[in-house]
Structure 1
Amino acid sequence: MGTSKFNQILLLFFHLHLLQISCSVFVHSKKQSNLSPTIMFELKSQQIPSGSIRRPTSKLPFHHNVSLTVSLLAGTPPQRVTMVLDTGSELSWLHCKKTPNVNSLFNPLHSTSYSQIPCSSPVCQTRTRDFTIPASCDPNKLCHVLVSYADASSMEGTLAMDNFQMGGSSIPGTFFGCMDQGFSSSESDSMTTGLLGMNRGSLSFVTQMNYPKFSYCISGRDASGVLLFGEVNFAWLKPRSYTPMVKITSHLPYYDRVAYSVQFEGIKVGGKILSLPKSILQPDHTGAGQTMVDSGTQFTFLLGPVYTALKNEYLAQTRGKLKELGDPNFVFQGAMDLCYRVPLTQKSYPVLPTVTLMFKDAEMSVSAERLLYRVPGEVRGSDGVHCFTFGNSDLLGVEAYIIGHHHQQNMWMEFDLVQSRVGLAEVRCDLASQRLGLGL
């Protein structure tokens, strides 16, 4: 799905600032033999075994507000860049300065290791096939790439290659988009923030790094977190529940083959399982209805019939506890129409029914403050407007279930690319950062 998604971005230092809140193309495995046993990613790293090659576990802290962002170095000499962490996108990109007097994130003219990819390159011709819009040839015979997102934002430019650095670890020859044109709901985001594509595509950052797995943990308390590449074996971390990734190799019009898709099996509200036909929770013959774990989207979106069933049950179970907004014309972010009035003087919510998303062999429970979100700037008399943090995909024109990062807070999220599974474990992410020595 991607960036700027529904006006949200993620940062890799886990500086969470949604690009509207999730790193290249490697044809072969990169054996980084020049690395020391321990690699420092902003703070520190821990070496762990991975197959026959000992790969370091790399840790990066991050912060978030609407998106998750991380801080990297790009080019030679290195330029510091901020990128949104997006498990729903493939191509990483930076806003590039190619003309004078233009603000940008990255200046390729100042990098001696920067190179542009010609449209005749096999990378341009074959490795962009999973893009929503395949690459083309620009007037200069360079590989032209364009990425677009569900909130109607888009970026376009040239496929390029340069060196990236993460905590002292050099990642040479990484493919990314050097973007110089685009439309964003927030121009400041497009100029000052890039995107770190982290899905399973051949040009994604994690694929190019050739790490077998990565994990992240988002704190709901202090807008911080950690992104970690490599194995995770910490005594304080609860055992993960693993749900297998769903893979469909056929080209279907509404199916993203390189997304982190999981099998959605149902929803519980306050312990009550909603009556939903299994067929509506699975992709149909067009690919519509897949369930994607997406750090590039803030909230969670469900297909219309499932959203309606959840909304009605939540209304029934909160009647008398919460006061409905009563404004049928107010829809937050164009897809979230269940909103409440909460007194500005009220410091906490009443006890609310937990909403549990059920996947094959794993569950994700959403409770307390993660169930409601105060809409900035919206006041009705002496009340603030707080909206239910689930939305209707149909209103966005998206044919999929999207599990956003807001509901991944205080969950250890592990993406195992070798065994093709997603691991979940409840954890206090602020304490996890401290235990990993990030000091956030």
Structure 2
Amino acid sequence: MVLVHLFLLLSLIAVSSGATIVARLNPGGTRVSLSVGTPPQKQLLAVDLNAETSWLPCGKNSSFEPGKSSTFSPLPCSSNACSGHCSTNKCLLPISPKTSVPAFQETLTGFTAPAGAKGTAIFGCAAGKSVGVAALSKNSLALPLQIASSFSVPRKFALCLSPDSPSSLFFGDDSSIIIGGINISSLVSFVPFVSNPVFPSRYYLDLRTIQTDFSDLKLDPSLFSINPKTGIGGLTLSSTNRYTKVPTPVYAAIAQSFKKYATAFNISIVPAQNLPFDLCFNASGMNFNRLGPVFPAIQLIFRNNIPWNLVGSRVIEFFRGNAIGCLAIQSAGDPPATSSIGLFHQFDNLLYFDLAQTRFGFVDRSLHILRQSCKFS
């Protein structure tokens, strides 16, 4: 896979003329490696698609020590970025509903490509914290728009997440991402983001219904609607939850379809035994193909009948030495409830976040159907 990754990066740089900035993610895609300050201080930050501002563990003996950087610059209240964030003559950024921390501007490096890429970004300085956050929301203070401005690249980013190998985060031009000789960009389907007036910086998708093996579950459309007063409802993307969550009636309909299939093919249902699932099966009764266990495929149907297909190993996850496999979806609770696509269903897919055209892109089947993956050595 080393050659694949090298080919990927060379293709990006050659086609995009340096208009793509690439950062390395850990296996599972929950942490991104960046460097901040002069000289660079390496940071391993939690990826958060919903966070509005990025922040670092800050202070003496923290991962970022301002006193050791010659380019550390507290953000003044007069800065445009501080508009609405000034208190007692200090620029303070919110990192939680009840906590705000001092803002500063610093150099940003540590990217895997192009070599020597260097820009600036605004962070919060959070004392006493152990792990910082890389905000990837639509907010102007989150990294996507800051990097677009600092590096003069398009207002886009893409994720290619692997569950067990280093993954990649791409900022900027996404016109020619090539994996294994295939231009994956050309296979991407796009759907528009929908707005949530309560959480305007988060990414919501216009999910219309769900099918199993192309049979509509006849769900009430209101189960996926957003309440404009509370912000509850709709379908969002999660970078913190491993599993996809849907309202209880939706989960019940999916589970019933899987139970019916298991009964028809003599696959035993077994207790979950302290696993975070409600429906598990004895793996010894399953059939397998190159995509994983043979079970009903799940189709998420978006506006204009655009599908996102979940099949095989992206439907069932195995535990206890592969002895049992569980439906990798959880209930989000009784309606009204917000649905979310978890990391498990984001793995081995190329996910585009096009902030310029307010749309989301994905390969309608995960890359392993194309005999490819997001594993980059």
> TM-score scaled by structure 2?
0.78
The answer as to 2:326 corresponding to 1:387 is yes
Alignment of 1:143-154 (within 5 A): 143=92, 145-147=94-96
- Alpha-carbon distance, 1:300 to partner: 0.9
Q: Name the counterpart of 1:171.
A: 119
Q: Name the counterpart of 1:57.
A: 20
8 Å CA contact 2:210, 2:300 repeated in 1: yes
| Counterpart-to-counterpart distance in 1, 2:143 and 2:359 | 18
Pick the aligned partner of 1:236 from 175, 183, 200.
183
| Counterpart-to-counterpart distance in 2, 1:269 and 1:85 | 31
Alignment of 1:241-390 (within 5 A): 241-248=189-196, 251-252=197-198, 256-286=199-229, 287-319=231-263, 321-326=266-271, 330=274, 332=276, 336-342=277-283, 350-361=293-304, 362-374=306-318, 384=323, 386-390=325-329
8 Å CA contact 2:161, 2:374 repeated in 1: no
Specify whether residues 46 and 367 from structure 1 end up closer, same or farther in structure 2 by C-alpha distance, changes over 3 A only: same
8 Å CA contact 1:45, 1:59 repeated in 2: no
- Alpha-carbon distance, 1:212 to partner: 2.2
DSSP-derived class of the 1:292 partner: strand
CA deviations over 1:348-378 (Å, ceiling 9, x no partner): 9642111111112432211212223345xxx
* Counterpart code for 1:59: V
Question: Comparing both structures, which one devotes a greater share of its residues to helix?
Answer: 2
The answer as to 2:57 corresponding to 1:92 is no
8 Å CA contact 2:66, 2:72 repeated in 1: yes
- Alpha-carbon distance, 1:164 to partner: 0.5
- Structure 2 gaps of 5+ residues are 1-7, 149-153
DSSP-derived class of the 1:46 partner: helix
Q: Name the counterpart of 2:36.
A: 74
Q: Name the counterpart of 2:354.
A: 416
| Counterpart-to-counterpart distance in 1, 2:347 and 2:190 | 17
- Alpha-carbon distance, 1:323 to partner: 3.3
| Counterpart-to-counterpart distance in 2, 1:144 and 1:419 | 27
Equivalent residues, number: 346
* Counterpart code for 1:231: D
DSSP-derived class of the 1:373 partner: strand
Identical columns (%): 23
Pick the aligned partner of 1:224 from 156, 166, 171.
166
DSSP-derived class of the 1:70 partner: strand
8 Å CA contact 2:282, 2:325 repeated in 1: yes
* Counterpart code for 1:301: K
CA deviations over 1:272-303 (Å, ceiling 9, x no partner): 21111222222134332121123343221112
| Counterpart-to-counterpart distance in 1, 2:191 and 2:31 | 26
- Structure 1 gaps of 5+ residues are 1-40, 127-134, 149-153, 183-190
DSSP-derived class of the 1:196 partner: strand
DSSP-derived class of the 1:402 partner: strand
- Alpha-carbon distance, 1:324 to partner: 2.9
Name the stretch that deviates more: 267-276 or 356-365. Answer: 356-365
Q: Name the counterpart of 2:151.
A: none
Q: Name the counterpart of 1:36.
A: none
- Alpha-carbon distance, 1:266 to partner: 1.1
Specify whether residues 125 and 373 from structure 1 end up closer, same or farther in structure 2 by C-alpha distance, changes over 3 A only: same
* Counterpart code for 1:407: H
- Alpha-carbon distance, 1:88 to partner: 2.6
Q: Name the counterpart of 2:146.
A: 208
- Alpha-carbon distance, 1:89 to partner: 2.2
| Counterpart-to-counterpart distance in 1, 2:206 and 2:125 | 35
Specify whether residues 292 and 105 from structure 1 end up closer, same or farther in structure 2 by C-alpha distance, changes over 3 A only: same
DSSP-derived class of the 2:232 partner: coil
| Counterpart-to-counterpart distance in 1, 2:31 and 2:119 | 19
8 Å CA contact 2:56, 2:132 repeated in 1: yes
Specify whether residues 155 and 297 from structure 1 end up closer, same or farther in structure 2 by C-alpha distance, changes over 3 A only: farther
- Alpha-carbon distance, 1:121 to partner: 5.6
* Counterpart code for 2:106: D
CA deviations over 1:284-335 (Å, ceiling 9, x no partner): 34332121123343221112222222222222222355433336x8461xxx
- Alpha-carbon distance, 1:267 to partner: 0.9
Specify whether residues 45 and 242 from structure 1 end up closer, same or farther in structure 2 by C-alpha distance, changes over 3 A only: closer
8 Å CA contact 1:341, 1:383 repeated in 2: no
